[in-house]
Homo-oligomer: A and B are copies of this chain.
Amino acid sequence: MAKLLALSVCFCFLVLGASSVTFRQQGEENECQFQRLNAQRPDNCIESEGGYIETWNPNNQEFQCAGVALSRFVLRRNALRRPFYSNAPQEIFIYQGSGYFGLIFPGCPGTFEEPIQGSEQFQRPSRHFQGQDQSQRPLDTHQKVHGFREGDLIAVPHGVAFWIYNDQDTDVVAISVLHTNSLHNQLDQFPRRFNLAGKQEQEFLRYQQRSGRQSPKGEEQEQEQENEGGNVFSGFSTEFLSHGFQVNEDIVRNLRGENEREDQGAIVTVKGGLSILVPPEWRQSYQQPGRGDKDFNNGIEETICTATVKMNIGKSTSADIYNPQAGSVRTVNELDLPILNRLGLSAEYGSIHRDAMFVPHYNMNANSMIYALHGGAHVQVVDCNGNRVFDEELQEGQSLVVPQNFAVAAKSQSEHFLYVAFKTNSRASISNLAGKNSYMWNLPEDVVANSYGLQYEQARQLKNNNPFTFLVPPQDSQMIRTVA
């Protein structure tokens, strides 16, 4: 299957292409002062053999303010996104599909060991060794391989190599955010992928602003870079690689990406499928719904080598906030998934019913990057001057940055508006302005009355009328209650 590869049309929207020319000025100061926020679609798409990667321009003011870079990738059947690492912590949300991924933590042992041939205690999941005599195959040892499925949030630390593979017929669709403004990124704020294979250019390179700096030796414009791209190994000499890996020049050429077909790119198609060593009972378990993944355990013995790196926050898991008339919200933070503490990130997945509302609220300690997975919602965002800086429908496929402390509310315009929000704090918390246990709910009645110039009766209504915490059902499904 998947022998024929048709480069399908790339579904990317070049809406903002023109504006990407106007690069931000350098080191601009008031980068979070907005006259208007813009919902953004990806403005570039990079096709590969096995899928494609869409990117948003990280130089847009919204992303600069939030200090994040956003991308989205699709893996078709048997597609492998080849290994890479990044200069900043990353969260990946799996909107659709399932498969395997690996993280290579330096200094950690290879704990997945292939057994002696013939033993069937453990098995490779896919049909394997095709075109090879099985008996010639030696043992393999490598670091843990993780399964993933729809709704998973994967945490990828800065500098840790990552690969991901789709072994199913359904495309894998994933949204990824890089927190370039993290303290863990000691380079400048520009997002960087360090590809470890292939000769494609890294996905954010096209947004890189040409430095006006002159090289001290005077060769001013020396052809820039050849711009044909390459992986990290491409930059080393054959001599170095041959010595470092103790292999011949043939292999080195592949390592440097020199024998690539033009169309391969970051995502390659594995003919016949990847053969990976995993426990046999494990494959079934990770694909069944249920938040309690088999490999989930946060005991006191946890080290970085065995750290849990994913958690499911999809619709099949139990919600943190739930109202059958209004919708549900799930969050994952450092208390759920301790590795997020190292990354300084958390996330939220929400589903809102038509005409139901997420009450006005603000993020206390984080910037938030909302991505509309499905459907649309009317969103309003307000800045510190009381100006409405966003008042539009956020549509499927669009992203919206909601800066820290800016107030935001949303009303679903679809049967089920689905979104994921990435937050730049491992313990992001929101303050709701209306509803039960909100700001208003917790003010003394006299303060409400006098702050808003209301009669006590009215103040009480403002304080107590909304009995819902975060999600309010549609207006017509309820009566405006008047507390006696």
* Binary contact track A415-430/B, C-beta < 8 Å → 1, others 0: 0000000001100011
Q: Tell me, yes or no, whether A168 is within 8 Å of chain B by CB.
A: no
Q: Tell me, yes or no, whether A92 is within 8 Å of chain B by CB.
A: no
Does B244 lie within 8 Å of A435, measured CB to CB?
Answer: yes
Partner of A225, one of B236, B270, B387: B387
Q: Considering residues A27, A237, A247, which has the most beta carbons from chain B within 10 angstroms of its beta carbon?
A: A247
* Binary contact track A202-244/B, C-beta < 8 Å → 1, others 0: 1001001101111111000010111001111111110011011
* Binary contact track A376-392/B, C-beta < 8 Å → 1, others 0: 00001111111111010
Binds B, one of A81-89, A290-298, A309-317, A327-335: A81-89
Indicate whether A251 sits within 8 Å of B442 (C-beta atoms), given known contacts A67-B186, A194-B405.
no
Q: Whole-angstrom distance between the alpha carbons of A236 and B264 in the complex?
A: 49
Contact residues, A344-361 vs B (CB, 8 A)? 357, 359-360
A170 shortest CB reach to chain B, Å:
20
Does A411 lie within 8 Å of B36, measured CB to CB?
Answer: no
Chain B residues near A140 (CB, 8 Å)? 444-445
Indicate whether A480 sits within 8 Å of B248 (C-beta atoms), given known contacts A29-B27, A234-B386.
yes
A248 shortest CB reach to chain B, Å:
7
Chain B residues near A222 (CB, 8 Å)? 35
Chain B residues near A195 (CB, 8 Å)? 384, 386
Chain B residues near A87 (CB, 8 Å)? 384, 404-405
Chain B residue with Cβ nearest A469: B107
Q: Considering residues A22, A106, A183, which has the most beta carbons from chain B within 10 angstroms of its beta carbon?
A: A106
Chain B residue with Cβ nearest A239: B411
Chain B residues near A215 (CB, 8 Å)? 35-36
Q: Tell me, yes or no, whether A115 is within 8 Å of chain B by CB.
A: no
- A32-B188, A236-B407 given. 20 additional CB < 8 A pairs? A22-B216, A33-B208, A82-B450, A83-B443, A85-B362, A85-B431, A106-B430, A159-B431, A186-B403, A232-B362, A232-B407, A234-B382, A236-B409, A237-B388, A240-B409, A243-B411, A246-B480, A254-B458, A255-B452, A268-B450
